[in-house]
Amino acid sequence: MSTPFLTHHGSSSGWTPPKDRVYHRSPRGGSSEMRRALALVAAMVTFACLAGFGPGAMARDSAPEEPTVRGVSGAVELSEDADVAAWQRLQYGMFIHWGLFSELGGVWQGEPVTRGYSEQIQMWANISEEDYLGVAERFRPDRFDPAEICSLAKQAGMRYIVITSKHHDGFSMFDTDSTTYDIVDSTPYGKDPMRALADECRSQGLKFGFYFSLVDWHQGHAFAGNNSNPIPASMEPVIKQQIRELMTNYGDIAEVWFDMAAPTADQSEAFASIVREHQPHAAINSRVWNNRGHFRTLGDNEVPDVPLDGAWQTPSSIYHETWGYRSWQKRDDLPGKVRDLVTGLTSVRARGGNYLLNIGPRGDGSVVEFEADVLGGIGDWLDRHPGAVLDASATRFGGQPWGEVTVNGRELFLHVTNWPADRQLRLPGLATNVTDVREDGAASGLDWRFDGDDLVVTLPEQPQDEVLPVIQVDLAGKLRVIPRNTVALGSDTSAVIQPADIESGHSYADQGYYDSNRRTTVRQTAHITTGKSSEVSIAVTGQARPDASYRVTVGDKSRVVRGSDLTTNAIGPFRVRPRAVTPVTVRLDQPTHPGEDLGLRIDTMLVGQAGQVVSWLEAPDQLEQGASTDIPVHVTNLGTRPVSGTTVLRTPEGWQAGDAADYTDLAPGGTFTTTMTVTVPATTPLGNYTLTADATGEKHIVELDASLTVVPPNVAVGKTATQISTAHEGVPARAVDGNTNGAYFDGSVTHTAEPSHQAWWQVDLGESHPIDSIEVWNRTDCCSERLSDYWVLASDTPFTTDSLDEAKAAPGVTALHQAGTAGRPTTVDLGGAKGRYVRIQLASTTNPLALAEVIVRAQPAA
């Protein structure tokens, strides 16, 4: 739901619904009316700004003194665990992949090894144990300089260093008594570089940590491309001894970065317990597996596309192709590399994660000059923007079409990765007054204004910083925001909140190995406002784990309920403060680990004033012409005594609905539910309509309605679909099965091969239709950014080529480009263009194509 104009009130401000409007009765229809009303206000404010104020002027200075809505805190909070929070404050560190593999530099027997990462060259080149030991016999890293490395890390703004103590090859880069297969006993170097680096980190004020692979080819693991080897009992003593040595011989350890293999839950617990015993303040990453870590390690170079709750980290490498040294690696475009990595750093930090950036020294220990220059470039950018990333907090804004947002005290930083062509930068939902806006480091300010609760900044023609420009917004108080889809309760303090208006917080969980990593939902939050102090109760429809305990929090008060009660009984009452955004959050009460999934599906959430009886319905956003749809209708008793009566669904004239239903002695807190079948005549004009849940039998029944849109039918469902290739069992039929779930492991997502060249998916509608629109539904579990820069094509004749250019240029083809990332859905208007064949095709020459659903809305063929 859009939120209205922010009024000016001292150091913070919020929005006030016009007093003569009530939006709770029709959440969808009401929100559009609200937007129209606010557009007029915004236009008047814009005119005042342009006519009477200069650069940096604020139109809200003349706003009427009215009660305002107080937003929620806009900064993302750190962990409640003090040790995890201390690790989160490190924010940005250096990763070092260095080992015996570095001596080979990605080359074996005079030939580059092009398969896989160079730190795994022993596997990819199938090097025997004897030959690999021969590499150790010439390994003499005399140019390894801990002081230089620490100095370089500090120049780059890094606060800690994590180095490979042992990689998959099993060669220990530290002095261990568990084996002689280590740098001290098996090389002419004969020294422990880990001790030297740990000491130097302490000397230069950096924290120190170890990478430790649970895969060990020397101890008996076979080469396996996925590196998910089980750990036999025979290997456990060596692993435990080596972890214990690392935790006791090198001073304080800030982070332990386990990697790969497939330990049992008991093994994972044993390895983590050794760390906790000897280094109780160290942060353990999730790749100790079986959900025993303190923070979640994401995929290589990954920037999450959904909000992640809890502590997490992105490991990134200067080159995506390798982590260890590769002598033949292409190293060019220094400015572009700095720009890409600064963007990665700011994106991860703005979304709440730690960023661990890798270098791969040569076998002699020296740092590659290009990598040193890259780190220097990042450090120079950080020096130009002090406070914009380091010591700044992530914000609730999330990724924006133009970039990222961080906050440091009363300074808000807008990191502009995509300079808007119209020079209008829009930040939605800012609920704190602004005192000044300028390009960070510039002396003069920029023009800015508020459009509703959106801050709109007029940018200069060209940015001042060519790496990544930063706009600094000075705030008059603490950052507060009005979250997207905040729902305003009306005079009777009731509203039905739809799933699209509920924010999900995500994490990850695993079952003991890399490929078992699954995105989970650990929190669901709605945001409400009301103009008066009220006692409200919450009723949820959907499905929950019956035996789970859930904590329902409204504002600062919580109640714990069983899953069997969460979706059957009202919860409350809770006191809601007036003129403030109040979060309504559902979590597990005592999760077994931070990534445990809620096991909860919320279909709708009713917020109602205590004492009321509420008649309401679960209506979809859209109904199709000529279709019959089952719609649940509810009566919820938020009063203190049983109630009886009748409910019926009121529909537009000519529609058919089910018969009235009686409810008898509905207990306090209970919900009566009946399903009524609504049939929309095929001749119904397209457009917006309202359904109302009527009820009789009580004097104070609140009847809520819902607005929906009548759309043409989906002519693609169940039709024959094909794609350029199929991988991971992601068959093309999944995109026309009517399931928009978007989770691959729920069988909802198609998938082509990786990599794919201009991957395509297409459907044969069976006959030509005048197509009204095409809805492209993205996946929900990961990798949504892959479905971007794509084309939607329609044709009356079959597509006969894999080439995107040739397909677009074919006679009679309608081709529409979508530059951004597909949503849920992205609706593409075809304006009645005729077509029997519909294709979705990526411009990318590498990305696979994954689709949750493609809906083709069209009138019946003539």
User: What token pair was written down for 242?
Assistant: 């080596």
Q: What is the rounded distance in angstroms from the CA atom of residue 693 to the CA atom of residue 496?
A: 12
Lowest mean pLDDT among 154-168, 447-461, 613-627, 692-706: 692-706
Q: What is the rounded distance in angstroms from the CA atom of residue 520 to the CA atom of residue 594?
A: 10
Rounded mean pLDDT, 526-539: 95
User: What token pair was written down for 592?
Assistant: 């077994």
pLDDT at 436: 97
pLDDT at 610: 93
The helix-helix angle for 334-350 and 369-384 (nearest 10°) equals 50
Mean of all residue pLDDT scores within the chain: 91
The torsion of the CA quartet 344, 349, 352, 354, rounded to 10 degrees, works out to 80
User: What token pair was written down for 526?
Assistant: 């709605």
The confidence band for 834, taking pLDDT boundaries of 50, 70 and 90, is very high
pLDDT at 428: 96
- In 3D space, the residue among 615, 601, 608 whose CA is nearest the CA of residue 672 turns out to be 615
Q: Are 767 and 720 in contact (CB under 8 A)?
A: no
Q: Give pLDDT tens digits for 65-108.
A: 333 789 999 999 999 999 999 999 999 999 999 999 999 999 99
pLDDT at 14: 34
The confidence band for 16, taking pLDDT boundaries of 50, 70 and 90, is very low
Tokens 């729920």 sit on residue: 746
The helix-helix angle for 146-155 and 193-203 (nearest 10°) equals 40
Rounded mean pLDDT, 573-582: 95
User: What token pair was written down for 665?
Assistant: 């002695």
| DSSP structural state of residue 507 | E
Q: What is the rounded distance in angstroms from the CA atom of residue 779 to the CA atom of residue 850?
A: 7
Percentage of the chain surpassing pLDDT 70? 92
Cβ contacts of 74 within 8 Å, gap of 6 or more: 395, 396, 397, 407, 430, 431, 432, 478, 479, 480, 481
Using a 10 angstrom Cβ sphere, with 0-12 exposed, 13-18 middle and 19 or more buried, the burial of residue 450 is buried
Cβ contacts of 217 within 8 Å, gap of 6 or more: 122, 123, 168, 169, 170, 223
Q: Are 158 and 148 in contact (CB under 8 A)?
A: no
Rounded mean pLDDT, 785-797: 96
Half-sphere exposure of 235 (CA within 13 A, CB side): 22
pLDDT at 862: 60
| DSSP structural state of residue 566 | H
Rounded mean pLDDT, 332-342: 97
pLDDT at 50: 33
- Cross-strand bridge partners of residue 741: none
Rounded mean pLDDT, 394-421: 96
Q: How many residues does the chain have?
A: 862
pLDDT at 53: 34
Q: What is the rounded distance in angstroms from the CA atom of residue 101 to the CA atom of residue 107?
A: 10
Using the predicted structure, report yes or no on whether residue 3 has a pLDDT greater than 80: no
Q: Are 349 and 393 in contact (CB under 8 A)?
A: no
Q: What is the rounded distance in angstroms from the CA atom of residue 661 to the CA atom of residue 694?
A: 11
Per-residue 3-state assignment (H helix, E strand, C coil) for 404-415 = EEEEECCEEEEE
The C-alpha angle with vertex 860 and arms to 857 and 862, in degrees rounded to 5, equals 140
Dihedral pair phi/psi, residue 442, rounded to 5°: -90, 150
Per-residue 3-state assignment (H helix, E strand, C coil) for 210-233 = EEEECCCCCCCCCCCCCCCCECCH
**SS3 of the chain: helix, strand, coil, percent, to 5:** 20, 35, 45
Q: What is the rounded distance in angstroms from the CA atom of residue 591 to the CA atom of residue 505?
A: 14
User: What token pair was written down for 435?
Assistant: 């005192």
Rounded mean pLDDT, 219-246: 97
- In 3D space, the residue among 369, 363, 367, 327 whose CA is nearest the CA of residue 141 turns out to be 363
pTM, 2 dp: 0.87
Rounded mean pLDDT, 397-406: 95
Residue 421 one-letter amino acid = A
Using the predicted structure, report yes or no on whether residue 32 has a pLDDT greater than 60: no
Using a 10 angstrom Cβ sphere, with 0-12 exposed, 13-18 middle and 19 or more buried, the burial of residue 687 is exposed
Using the predicted structure, report yes or no on whether residue 45 has a pLDDT greater than 50: no
Q: Which domains does the chain have, with CATH numbers?
A: 82-384 (3.20.20.80), 393-481 (2.60.40.1180), 486-610 (2.60.120.260), 613-711 (2.60.40.10), 720-858 (2.60.120.260)
Rounded mean pLDDT, 599-609: 96
Q: Are 243 and 196 in contact (CB under 8 A)?
A: no
| DSSP structural state of residue 248 | H
Using the predicted structure, report yes or no on whether residue 493 has a pLDDT greater than 60: yes
Q: How many other CB atoms are found less than 10 A from the CB of residue 442?
A: 14
Dihedral pair phi/psi, residue 245, rounded to 5°: -65, -45
Rounded mean pLDDT, 567-573: 95
Is the previous residue joined to 825 through a cis bond, with omega within 30 degrees of 0? Answer: yes
Strands 671-679, 628-637: parallel, antiparallel or unpaired by DSSP? Answer: antiparallel
pLDDT at 8: 24
Rounded mean pLDDT, 47-61: 36
pLDDT at 699: 67
The confidence band for 12, taking pLDDT boundaries of 50, 70 and 90, is very low
Read out DSSP for 673-730? EEEEEEE--TTPPSEEEEEEEEEES-TTEEE-EEEEEEE--BS-TT-EEEES---TT-
Percentage of the chain surpassing pLDDT 90? 87
Residue 22: helix, strand or coil by DSSP? coil
pLDDT at 4: 29
pLDDT at 743: 87
Q: Give pLDDT tens digits for 799-831.
A: 999 999 999 999 999 999 999 899 999 999 999
Is the previous residue joined to 755 through a cis bond, with omega within 30 degrees of 0? Answer: yes
pLDDT at 18: 30
Q: Are 502 and 525 in contact (CB under 8 A)?
A: yes
